[in-house]
Amino acid sequence: MGHQMQTPDSQNCTPEITLTRNTIHYGWVIVLLGAAGIFSGLGLGRFALGMLLPAMADSLHLNYEQMGTISTANFIGYFIGILFSAKLVRRFGARYIASCGLVLTGISMIFVACAQNWIILAFLYWFTGVGGAWANIAIMSLIAGWFAPTNRGRAAGFIVTGNGVAIVFSGQVIPILNSMTTLHWRLSWIVLAAIILFVGALCLLFLRNSPQEKHLLPVGDQTESDTYPSQTFKNRPTLPLTLHTGLLYFVFGFTFVSYATFIVTTMVEQFAMSQITAGNFWSWVGILSLASGPVSGYCSDRFSRRATLAVIFILQTFSYALVGISASPVFLYFSIFCFGIVAWAVPSIIVALCGDYAGPIHAVSMFSTVTLIFALGQGLGPYLFGVMAEITGTFSNAYLLAAVMTAAAAIGCFMLPKTSTRIA
C-alpha cells in the first residue's frame, strides 16, 4: 500500500479528474485529516508537555534535569520510531501506520496519567514518542504523492498548522482541567489521550495512501516531470544533500523544541507569572503560529524555498536571543511574537524540499532520514537546556546557544541546491 504512489498508468484515470475541477479535491481532505493527526500525535502528544510540566514538577517534585529527561525520553522514542517508519509505511501504507501511531500515542498517555514517579513516567512517555513518529512520518509522506510541486509547500503548511491549534487548545484547556479536580495534570493527560484515540479512528476510516485509490491525479498542474522524481534529481537524493537538509532540521529540532518545552517554566519561575497567565501567553504562540505554515509554504512555493527558510531561522534567532539577554517582559513579548509567527514554518518547507529533491517515490525515505536527524536535535536540546539551567539557575545561556545555532542555520540555507521546479 505504501508503494501505491504515482505510476505512468495511473495518469489514465481521467474521468474523475474532470469532475474534480468543480468539486473539492480529496487531497484537501487528506490535508484536513493530516492536520488533525499532527494536532493529536505531535501537538497534544508532545507540545502540550510544556503546559503540563509545572504542575507535574510540583506533584512529583521534579528538578530541571529530570524535567528535561522526561522530554528527552519522548524524543528517544521518537527517534526509534523514525528508524522503522519508512519501511512500515512502504509495507503497510501511510493510512494504517498513521492510525496505529495515534492509537499507541493515546494509550501510552493514559498510562502516563497513572505514573507515580518520574522514571516510570519517562519510560511510558517514550512510547508516546514512538507513536508520534509513526503518525508524523506517515502523514507527511502523503504530501509528495497527493500534491504537485507547486502546491506541496502550502499543503504541508496547512497540515503542520495542527501543531498551532494544539498549542492554543492546551494553553486554554489544560489550566482549567488542572484546576477542576484533585487529579490535576493526570486528568489532562487522560482527556488529551481520548482526543488522540478519536482522531486515530478518523484517520483509519478516511485516509487514503495515494490519489489512485480515489482515481485521481495529484492536486495542481500535472506533467510527467512533476508527478515523478524531479528533472534534476532523477535518482535517490545524494547522502550529502540529505545530511545537509537534515542538519538544518536538526537545528530546528534542538532549538524549537527546547523553547517550547521550557518557555512556560521560564515565564513561571523567571518572570514570576502564574500558570494561567503563562498559559495565556502560550496560547498566543499557538494563535500566531496558525498562519506560519501556510504563509511560509506559499512563499516557498511562489518564490524560494532556500530564502524563505533562511528568513525563518533569522526570526527564530531574534526570538531566542531576546529572551536570553534580558529578563524584561517587553523582550519576552517580542520573543514570543517572533517565535509564534514562524513556529511551524520549517517543517512545511522541509517536507516540500524532500518532495522536490526525491520525488514521490523516494520522498518518504528522505523525509524519514532527515526527521531522524531532527529527532536527535529534539532529544539533545531539552536535555542540555535542563542541564544548563540546573548548573546556572537560569535558562538564559541555553537560549543564547539556540540563537547562535539558528543564525548559523540561516547561512546554511543558501548552500542548499536549487530545486528543479520553477521554485528556487
Binned at pLDDT 50, 70 and 90, residue 196 comes out as very high
Residue 277 has pLDDT above 90, yes or no: no
* Higher pLDDT, residue 378 or 79: 79
Q: Which domains does the chain have, with CATH numbers?
A: 23-217+225-411 (1.20.1250.20)
pLDDT, position 402: 97
Return the percentage of the chain with pLDDT > 90, whole number.
46
Higher pLDDT pick, 420 / 109: 109
Q: Which residues pair with 143 in a beta bridge?
A: none
With both helix axes pointing from N to C terminus, report the angle between 329-341 and 239-269 in degrees, rounded to the nearest 10: 150
Torsions phi, psi of 170, nearest 5?
A: -65, -35
| Residue 376: CB atoms within 10 Å | 19
- pLDDT for res 183: 67
Residue 76 has pLDDT above 50, yes or no: yes
Angstrom distance (rounded) from CA 415 to CA 241: 10
Which stretches within 93-148 are classed as H helix?
94-112, 118-146
pLDDT for the residue numbered 414: 93
pLDDT at 357 > cutoff 50? yes
More confident position, 208 or 170: 208
Picking from 339, 349, 382, 287, the residue whose alpha carbon sits closest to that of residue 78 is: 382
Q: What is the DSSP letter of 419?
A: P
Q: Are 30 and 174 in contact (CB under 8 A)?
A: no
Sign of the alpha-carbon dihedral angle for 339, 344, 347, 351: negative
Q: What is the mean pLDDT of residues 265-281?
A: 83
Worst-scoring range by mean pLDDT, 89-103, 160-174, 236-250, 329-343? 160-174
Q: What local confidence, expressed as pLDDT, does residue 362 receive?
A: 83
Cα-Cα-Cα-Cα dihedral sign, residues 193, 194, 195, 200: positive
DSSP alpha helices (H): ranges in 209-344?
224-227, 239-269, 275-289, 292-302, 305-325, 329-341
- The per-residue pLDDT for 172 is 82
Q: How high is the pLDDT of residue 329?
A: 86
Tally of CB atoms within 10 A around 300: 29
- Provide the pLDDT confidence category of residue 2 given band limits of 50, 70 and 90: very low
For the cut 90, the answer to whether the pLDDT of residue 285 exceeds it is no
- Ranking 86-90, 283-287, 353-357 by mean pLDDT, the lowest is 283-287
Average pLDDT of the residues in 266-275: 84
pLDDT category at 116 given cuts 50, 70, 90 is confident
First CA to last CA across the chain, in angstroms? 32
Largest CA distance in the chain: 66
Provide, rounded to the nearest whole percent, the portion of the chain with pLDDT above 70.
Answer: 89
Instruction: Indicate whether 263 pLDDT > 50.
Output: yes
The pLDDT confidence band at residue 13, using thresholds 50, 70 and 90, is very low
φ, ψ of residue 183 in degrees (nearest 5): -70, -25
Q: What is the pTM of this model?
A: 0.78
Contact 382, 402 (CB under 8 A): no
